[in-house]
Amino acid sequence: MENSNQPTNIQEETVMSNIQSIFQQFIDNGGEPKVTSFKRHLDKLINSDIKPLCGRSGKAADGTDWRSEVKAKFGGRGAKWVFVSIDSIRPTLSRFAEQGIDVEDYTKFIEAHGQAWIRFSGPRIDNGVKAAAFEVRTDGSTIDHPKQLHYIPLHDLDEAISFINSTPHAMKLEEVAKPQDVEEDVEIELSKPEETPAVEENYEDLMGDIEELMNFEDDEL
């Protein structure tokens, strides 16, 4: 039965053989056969030969630096905030929820607006794919969320985003929609009709005292 670790063992043997060759070259060139001396030699080789190779890892085949290009795309004033579709961000929100992150308010806000807003964080490699990473600020757009990232592959980036050219805070996207003010019923107390003041009946007896009238008539006779 073949040993399943055979490929790994071969790789390790190859690495050790290469290190031994480098060590032998170090000795042949007058180096001291000491671990500390050889380590310093390896450090020099790393700085002179290995670091430049690592620096090129961010460059595309045509020599351009894709990371710098991505940063420049979001480098303008107000260019870090973008809209994406709600469907595209749902898997990320589900992942956050599984981690115990409260996404309820953020979900309500984006559903009310019809789009989700995210803030550019930087270029990243996501599962071996070049991507742009964006913060999903579920606790409020003015609070940094450096660990809550949503990734968009570069080949989908232009079609997936639209620039806001503002901020969610300035656009008041995170305010709870208030219902229209309902006018309170105002109880109007109808005033009672004013009572007509009593008119004092003070009729003048135009005929005067009847007895005086009768006496006057007697005197005339």
- In this predicted model, what pLDDT tens digit does every residue of 132-146 receive, in sequence order? 999 999 999 999 999
Phi (first) and psi of residue 126, to 5 degrees: -115, 110
Its pTM surpasses 0.85: no
Predicted pLDDT of residue 26: 75
For residue 183, pLDDT beyond 50: no
Residue 177's pLDDT band, with cuts at 50, 70 and 90, is: low
pLDDT value, residue 182: 41
The rounded distance, in Å, linking the Cα atoms of 47 and 218 is 157
Closest by CA position to 101, among listed 152, 163, 143, 161: 143
Model confidence at 172: pLDDT above 50: yes
Query: Distance (Å, rounded) from C-alpha 106 to C-alpha 117?
Result: 10
Residues ≥6 apart with Cβ < 8 Å to 96: 103, 136, 138, 148
Taking the C-alpha atoms of residue 176 and residue 189, their distance in angstroms, rounded to an integer, is: 37
Q: Is the sign of the CA dihedral 67, 150, 163, 90 positive or negative?
A: positive
Residue of 151, 155, 123 whose CA lies nearest to 136? 151
Amino acid at site 104: E
For residue 50, the 8-state DSSP code is I
C-beta of residue 96 within 8 angstroms of C-beta of residue 67:
no
Residue 166 has a CB neighbour count (10 Å cut-off) of 12
> What DSSP string describes 126-163?
ETTEEEEEEE--TT-TTS--TT-EEEEEHHHHHHH-EE
pLDDT digits (tens, 9 = 90+) for 66-113: 999 999 999 988 899 999 999 999 999 999 999 999 999 999 999 999
Phi, psi of 52, rounded to the nearest 5 degrees: -60, -35
The per-residue pLDDT for 203 is: 47
pLDDT tens per residue across span 31-53: 788 888 878 878 777 765 665 55
Domain boundaries, the chain: 8-58, 69-163
Least confident of 31-45, 113-127, 145-159, 193-207: 193-207
